[in-house]
Amino acid sequence: MLKRILSVILMGCLLFTLAGCSAKAPESKTEPVTSNKTEPTAKVEDKQEQPVEKVKFSLWHSFVGADQRAEFMEKRMADFRALHPEYEIDEQKMPRDQYQTKLKTEAAGGELPEAFLIWPNAMTQEFASASLLKDINGYLEANTEWRDSFVSRALDEFTVDGKTYSAGLGVSITSIVYYNKALFEQYNVTYPTSYAELLNAIKVFKDKGIIPIALGNKAKWPAQSTIFSCLANRVTGSEWLDRALSNSGSKFTDPEFIDALSKLKELTDVGAFNKDYNTIDEVEVRSYFYKGEAAMMIGGSWILPDMIKNAPEELKANIEMTILPGFERGKGDPNTMSGVSSTGIVMSAKVTPEQQAAIEELIHFLTNEESQIMYAAYNIPVSSKTVVINESEMDPLYNKMLALIKKYPLVAVYDSAMNSELTDIVNNGLQGIMIGSQTPEDLAAELQKAVE
Amino acid sequence: MKLNKKSILRAILFAILCIVGFTTLYPLIWMAYTSLKSNPEIIMSTFALPKTLHFENYVNAWKTANMGVYFSNSIFVCVASIILTIMVGSLAAFILAKFRFKGKKFVYSLFIVGMLIPMQAVLVPLFIQMRTLKLLDSPFSLILSYTAFGLTITIFILESFIKSFPDSIIEAGIMDGGEIRHIFLKMILPMSRPALATVIILNFLNNWKEFSFALIFISTDRKKTLPLGLYNFIGAYSSNYAELMAAMMIVSVPIIVLYLILQEQIINGMTAGAVKG
Amino acid sequence: MDIIFKNKRTIILGLLPALLIFCVIVVMPILRSFYYGFFQWNGLGEPIYIGFENFVDILTDKVFWSAFQNNLYIVVASVFGQIPIGLVIAIVLNKKLKSSSFFRTIFFLPMILSTVVVGLLWSTILNAQVGILNQFLKLIGLERLGQDWLGNPKIAMYTISVVIIWQFIGFYMIIFLAALQNIPTEIIEAADIDGAGELNKLIRITIPMIWDSIMAAVVLCIAGSMRTFDLVFVMTKGGPAHATELMATYMYNKTFEVYKYGYGSAVSLVIFVISFSFILISRKVMSKPEVV
């Protein structure tokens, strides 16, 4: 026994020595950043000696599986390769969670691929502020027509301190209300125009054994991204969130925010959601809607390709799309929905000039007019305001979404406005409020504390 | 009377075994018939039997998960790391079980260390380590990591097994003029057959399913292992469950076969390995 | 004999290969991970040395301590669930019969199947809206007992513990099956002649004879339970609202989701220390088997 205790103490000592050393040894501290510097320079020399060699770079992204984005990417990358035989691209694709793990592990180890997929806002900010990315400002300046074709958030959400790092591969609307017209007619309900009417509609469906709103919140972000972002905006208005986050004039403990949280709680308590909303994910929940067991489903534009492919035909004819109703005494514009730019390709700060040119070419290629038309062909909302989509060729559901986009401006999604830590608090906090383990006041105070 | 009571007890025991057995067998059955359904069928009803049999799921799965290439990689990495683990681990277990020396408890505790930290916490340091060893993107990065992380359980199970061999058997072997390495190879290893079979199963299972290390270390497509291929079916916004199940059926076959062979070894070891000193 | 069992050359040559591989691949990276625990680092930029600040924060981190408590449930459920059940099954199936060979195979299946499949299946069975378990309870008139098995924060942890026990029975079964081969048949036969009952044989012969293996299994069990990750990650993602958060899922979340790599590393060091102390305690408690 004594020896075992001794061995623990020994281990402990080792640790403390390590910790002690680190204070005195700056070279080991910076290691993750410096250790890799030799490699890119070696590559530059390579290029200068043999100018005929192909420009090689690796590209990592998460477009795999049955997603239509995966099909888009596969097709578009084949086109790009055919167009540019002088580039040699090592493409690595893996699912989202695994992609994040691999990317962040290698970033922590001081290695990054030359080109990779990044999420707008929080993730872009983290990578940019660690000086890991190279901006495309020069390229945007040189190609103003392309630059000006974008809806503003496709570039803005990849911009940190005046430097733009990417352009969004489309846009994601996060809070479309899909509803089953047949069920509404069957039970004599009209789509609500106010919060009171919404509560009433919920009650009617609930009494008839129909799920009023299908929700799959296992992953924690759906309630925040698809419901609460828009709901809170209806109550507080857009400026309030900006002020609260920048700590200038508004606080999360303000009554309007607590009111918004309480509304989500009320919706849960009156039974607006399926019983298993905490334990199924955002994909599984769709089956309730597809089977006609749910009257409404609030979700993003990313559901659309799946819906068009997998929902039964007779149901599809009954699907309508709209937005959350306005709220009585709400400070927000009732004619908005929440949205965010889709992911985009960025390049590592360590690229050679040749690689930079090639990757900029790729970013351009994946967001040019031809690509935008292909987004539409795969039922993804476009990030261009100039592209013309031939509606007669499109699925009727896609056209319904286009109508929404034309009619309603987008407001910020909470997780796009917040950093990852605040997002984590909100996502878990909303779950806590819905199951009653946390009060709206508690969550408001916790958020306010984190902001300060 | 006594016999009667015993047979009732047996019947009850058998019934319990059957119930538990059903719950453990059902997932395999479910996987088997789900792998023959279409995706919309799976979405609409998780447990229903397939209406038509979609055997093409298997063909597509084989292609999508790039199994032609990944299968042989997985076999190579698993077999190599198990051979290494058994060689190195059984030797260390023998020393720890039967020899007397200072610091033995420290060495034993050191091997526990490998189990006490979540894998996810060592990904970054291990990545850096592999880069230093210049092993990134090489199958040896996987073979070495699987061996090292497999050593803990190997040494644990083998040590506790060898420890219960009576010293007198080894002493008798030495009296007969055997060298220690002969005793290890000709006596200890054959006698440890049940434990060796167990360790091989457990390590093979871990290595065959291991995902994180393979994800981080290997970048070249022709060096990847099966678990990486399996994730090609899981998209962010919709997953291809039908093909995923088909792929998992294919991937499960080698482990089930290996288990069927080795579990007989565990039991038969009783007679075959009982070398009387 | 001592000369042989104390031969330094044999000892060093025998341990060296294992120690070398183990130290380079396991121990060094773990120490490096601990070292990051003393930094404020988002995993991307420059790490800043902050001494014990992360550890002080952990002491007052409510979520961490509720995760710790959840891990305790799993440790208790595993040590007192998996090990006895695995042992009993191993003893029952330790026969060369066709049927025992069949059961040995199917009890091991949950270990073989991918966690993705196991998680998906159990989530569907335990689902509150359409789950088979609730429908079954309704069918036999016990609708009152129906629950939101994974969504109700008060019971989610118990549900998870049951699934974990179910998944790992096979693991302990085969460890004990191997250990049982070490019991000479003569001893059991002698006991049979004496007319000893099954329970008597179990307590007086079987358990003491494989005590070393039971101790090893307990260590494996504690260590495994303290770093459980996969099944919870697939089934609940630690939710709802951290109700099933475990130390390892919490650490993963901090490290890879919210850019607090240093804090995540500090959490893993705390997991290490807690697990190690539990193992020391367990070995202390178990070091003298009661031979009645």
Integer distance in angstroms from the first to the last C-alpha of chain A?
A: 49
Same domain, A300 and A152: no
Residue A309 inside a domain? The answer is yes
Same domain, A71 and A161: yes
Residue A272 inside a domain? The answer is yes
Residue A404 inside a domain? The answer is no
Q: What are phi and psi of C156, to 5 degrees?
A: -55, -40
> What are the CA-CA distances from residue A199 to residues A203, A264, A270, A320, C27 (Å)?
6, 11, 8, 19, 58
Q: What are phi and psi of B224, to 5 degrees?
A: -70, 160
DSSP output for B46-98:
SSSPPSS--THHHHHHHHHTTHHHHHHHHHHHHHHHHHHHHHHHHHHHHHHHH
Q: Does C81 touch chain B (CB under 8 A)?
A: no
Say if residue A17 is exposed, middle or buried (CB neighbours under 10 Å; 0-12, 13-18, 19+).
exposed
Same domain, A187 and A311: yes
Residue A39 inside a domain? The answer is no
Condensed to tens digits (0 to 9), the pLDDT of residues B3-49 reads 677 788 888 888 988 998 999 999 899 999 999 998 888 877 778 88
How many structural domains are present in chain A?
2
Amino acid symbol at A189: V
Same domain, A161 and A185: no
Say if residue A393 is exposed, middle or buried (CB neighbours under 10 Å; 0-12, 13-18, 19+).
exposed
- Measured in whole angstroms, the distance separating CA C117 from the mean position of its chain's CA atoms is 19
Residues A148 and A367: beta-carbon distance below 8 Å: no
Same domain, A142 and A60: yes
Question: What span, in angstroms and rounded, lies between the C-alpha atoms of A357 and B242?
Answer: 41
How many separate helices (H) and strands (E) can be counted in chain A?
25, 14
Same domain, A383 and A418: no
pLDDT (tens, 9 = 90+) of chain B, 277 residues, equals 456 777 888 888 889 889 989 999 998 999 999 999 988 888 777 788 888 899 999 998 898 888 889 999 999 999 999 999 999 999 999 999 989 898 898 999 899 888 888 888 899 999 999 999 999 999 999 999 999 999 999 998 999 999 888 888 888 888 887 788 888 988 899 989 999 999 999 999 999 999 899 999 998 888 999 988 887 787 666 667 888 899 999 999 999 999 998 988 888 755 444 443 3
Same domain, A144 and A194: no
Question: What span, in angstroms and rounded, lies between the C-alpha atoms of A431 and A448?
Answer: 18
Mutation pick from C98, C182, C277 vs chain B, by most beta carbons of B within 10 Å, is: C182
Amino acid symbol at C52: F
For residue A332, the SS3 value is coil
Domain limits at A155?
A: 55-170+342-387
What is residue A82's predicted lDDT score, i.e. its pLDDT?
95
* ipTM of the complex model: 0.88
Which residues have C-beta within 8 Å of that of residue C105, sequence separation ≥ 6?
B256, B259, B260, B263
Assigned token pair, B127: 């990545």
Amino acid symbol at C125: I
Residue A15 inside a domain? The answer is no
Q: Do B252 and C112 touch (CB under 8 A)?
A: yes
CB neighbour burial string for B50-73, b if at least 16 within 10 angstroms, e if fewer: beeebeebbebbbebbbbebbbeb
Question: What span, in angstroms and rounded, lies between the C-alpha atoms of C49 and A26?
Answer: 10
Q: Which helix (H) or strand (E) holds A213?
A: strand A211-214
The DSSP output letter for A113 is: -
Same domain, A212 and A324: yes
What is residue A87's predicted lDDT score, i.e. its pLDDT?
94
Residue A65 backbone class (left: φ over 0; alpha: ψ -120 to 50; beta: rest): left
Q: A366 vs chain B: nearest CA distance in angstroms?
A: 19
Same domain, A209 and A166: no
Handedness of CA C193, C194, C198, C201 (dihedral sign): negative
Q: Residue B86, Cβ neighbours under 10 Å: how many?
A: 19
The structure's pTM equals 0.86
Q: Does A28 touch chain B (CB under 8 A)?
A: no
Residues B157 and C219: beta-carbon distance below 8 Å: no
> What are the CA-CA distances from residue A127 to residues A121, A349, C239 (Å)?
10, 10, 28
Handedness of CA A40, A42, A45, A51 (dihedral sign): negative
Chain B to chain C, count of Cβ pairs less than 8 Å apart?
A: 262
Which residues have C-beta within 8 Å of that of residue B101, sequence separation ≥ 6?
C6, C8, C11
Same domain, A289 and A258: yes
Residue A402 inside a domain? The answer is no
Q: Do B113 and C182 touch (CB under 8 A)?
A: no
Residue A150 inside a domain? The answer is yes
Minimal-distance CA residue of chain C relative to B241: C117
For residue A294, the SS3 value is strand
Residues linked to residue A298 through DSSP beta bridges, in sequence order: A177
What is residue A83's predicted lDDT score, i.e. its pLDDT?
94
Handedness of CA A423, A427, A433, A436 (dihedral sign): negative
Q: How many residues does chain A have?
A: 452
Give the chains touching B; criterion: ≥3 Cβ pairs < 8 Å: A, C
Q: Do A310 and B233 touch (CB under 8 A)?
A: no
Same domain, A148 and A201: no
Q: Which helix (H) or strand (E) holds A105?
A: helix A96-108
Q: Does C146 touch chain A (CB under 8 A)?
A: no
Q: Do A15 and C45 touch (CB under 8 A)?
A: no
Q: Residue C73, Cβ neighbours under 10 Å: how many?
A: 17
Q: Does C26 touch chain B (CB under 8 A)?
A: yes
Q: Do A65 and B106 touch (CB under 8 A)?
A: no
CATH number at residue A145: 3.40.190.10
Query: Taking Cα atoms as reference points, which of A283, A220, A271 lies closest to residue C244?
Result: A220
- Residues on chain B touching C264 (C-beta within 8 angstroms): 121
Q: Which member of A30, A101, A420 has the closest CB to residue C46?
A: A30
Same domain, A64 and A183: no
Question: Chain A 295-324, CB below 8 Å of chain B: which residues?
Answer: 302-303, 305-306, 310, 312
Which residues have C-beta within 8 Å of that of residue B4, sequence separation ≥ 6?
none
The DSSP output letter for C43 is: S
Residues A164 and A158: beta-carbon distance below 8 Å: yes
Question: What span, in angstroms and rounded, lies between the C-alpha atoms of C270 and C279?
Answer: 14
Minimal-distance CA residue of chain A relative to C285: A1
Largest CA distance in chain C: 73
- Range with lowest mean pLDDT among A338-342, C78-82, C190-194: C190-194
pLDDT (tens, 9 = 90+) of chain A, 452 residues, equals 444 444 444 444 444 434 333 333 333 333 343 334 344 444 444 444 455 678 999 999 999 877 778 889 999 999 999 999 999 999 988 888 889 999 999 999 888 999 999 999 989 999 999 999 999 999 999 999 999 999 999 999 999 999 999 999 999 999 999 999 999 999 999 999 999 999 999 999 999 999 999 999 999 999 999 999 999 999 999 999 999 998 888 999 999 999 999 999 999 999 999 999 998 888 889 989 999 999 999 999 999 988 988 888 999 999 999 999 998 888 999 999 999 999 999 999 999 999 999 999 999 999 999 999 999 998 899 999 888 888 888 899 999 999 999 899 999 999 988 998 999 999 999 999 999 999 999 999 999 999 98
Question: What span, in angstroms and rounded, lies between the C-alpha atoms of B119 and C252?
Answer: 10
Question: Chain A 48-107, CB below 8 Å of chain B: which residues?
Answer: 58, 62, 64-67, 69-70, 90, 92-96, 98, 101-102, 105-106
Residues C223 and C209: beta-carbon distance below 8 Å: no
Assigned token pair, B274: 């009982």
Residue A349 inside a domain? The answer is yes
